Amino acid sequence: MFFRVIVKRLAQAVPVFLGISILVFFMLSYIPGNAADILALEGGGSVSGEELQKLREQLGINDPVWQQYWRFFTKAVRGDLGRSIRTNQPVTKMLMENLPSTIQLAATSMVLAVIIGLTLGIIAGIKHGTWIDSGSMVVALLGWSMPQFWLGLVLMLVFSIKLKVLPITGGTEWQRLILPALTLALGFAGIIARLVRTEILEELRKEYVRTARSKGLKESAVLIIHVLRNSMISVVTIIGLQFGRMLGGAVIVESVFARQGVGRMAIDALIDRDMPVVQGAVLFLALVFLLSNLLVDITYSLLDPRIRIQSE
């Protein structure tokens, strides 16, 4: 029964992934200045037209786009995403090298965001209407309105340059992780805090809370046993869905801190117009995003039987 839900969701995700791969491939094939031209230019401009033609053929740029896509697709399903035009490294290998660092960043940020966001949100929800509530919501909104690329620089300025607590370069792995993770986490903490607060307020209005109170339950028990537990279902979903946005944020944060990772790999390749690498990295991020949403869906239906029945 549960297995069927998973299969159904997977079946929905496959065409979407195919669609995004086609879309990305076609968009990138329109990028002005193709790889052959760029390579030729960098060779010092001494490349003859004939050589350029040869290079274009070698890279397969002269074929129609759909043919190029088909070639890309048939190789990609076998795990071959082509090679970087710049370094000639296999894209798959580059992804595998950059992945651990991105996972480390995203996971640490997620933990930080959940801790900060839940705390702020729960306090604001319970102390609804007080200055504590409005204070936490201002902090949440600020976190959400801050450009991540700027927050990263400000944190660097404060902690590395002014306070000299953390080194700008070098240092232990933990020292290198803390500022990027904090940068990525603060915005999401803001979103989580606001949503947690809304959930708690909604839950507090429900009948069972009145019942629990009127039967003489202590307020703390009402909150912990009933309200928090019931609002957590949506909170888990929300947090899960934020994971994809966190991947988007990682793209920026990795670039700001010149930190190794899939996001930075994608940006550097975009700037260099190293298309095989861009394709590989972007599609890989899309895949991770789709899979994480799938996982959230499945977890959600596990937590909330109503959804499970609906989707069958």
Partner 1 sequence: MTDHKTSLESKTPASTKRKSTAVQVLQHLAGSSGGRLGGGIILLLVVCALFAPLVTPYDPIKMSPQDALSPPSLKHLAGTDRFGRDIMTRIIYGSRISLKVGFAGVSIAVVVGGMLGLLAGYYSGWVDGVICYFTNILLALPGILLALVVVAALGPGIFNVMIAVGISSIPNYIRVVRGRTLSIKEQEFVDAARVTGSSDARIIFRHILPNLFSAIVVLASMGFATAVLVGAAISFLGLGAQPPTPEWGIMVTDGRTMLRQAWWLSTMPGLAIMVTALAFNLLGDSLRDALDPRVRI
* Residues found near partner 1 in the complex (CB under 8 A): 15-17, 19-20, 23-24, 27-28, 30-32, 141-142, 144-151, 153-154, 156-157, 161, 191, 194-195, 198, 244-245, 247-249, 251-252, 255, 266-267, 270-271, 273, 278, 282, 285-286, 289-290
Please report the sign of the dihedral spanned by the C-alpha atoms of residue 128, residue 131, residue 136, residue 139.
positive
Closest separation between CB of residue 256 and partner 1, Å?
A: 8
Measure Cα distances from 95 to 26, 73, 291 in Å: 21, 17, 17
Closest to partner 1 by CB, 212 vs 235, is 235
Q: Which amino acid is at 81?
A: L
CB 284 within 8 A of CB 262: yes
Closest separation between CB of residue 48 and partner 1, Å?
A: 27
Closest to partner 1 by CB, 23 vs 221, is 23
Closest separation between CB of residue 25 and partner 1, Å?
A: 10
Closest to partner 1 by CB, 52 vs 267, is 267
Q: How many angstroms separate the CA atoms of 196 and 183, rounded?
A: 21
Q: How many angstroms separate the CA atoms of 236 and 301, rounded?
A: 11
Closest to partner 1 by CB, 212 vs 278, is 278
Closest to partner 1 by CB, 279 vs 301, is 279
Dihedral of CA atoms 86, 88, 90, 94 in degrees, nearest 10, equals -40
Closest separation between CB of residue 145 and partner 1, Å?
A: 4
Q: How many angstroms separate the CA atoms of 66 and 52, rounded?
A: 22
Closest to partner 1 by CB, 27 vs 221, is 27
Closest separation between CB of residue 215 and partner 1, Å?
A: 30
The DSSP annotation for 226-284 comes to IIIHHHHHHHHHHHHHHHHHHHHHHHHHHHHTT--SHHHHHHHHHHHT-HHHHHHHHHH
Closest separation between CB of residue 149 and partner 1, Å?
A: 5
Q: How many angstroms separate the CA atoms of 252 and 271, rounded?
A: 13
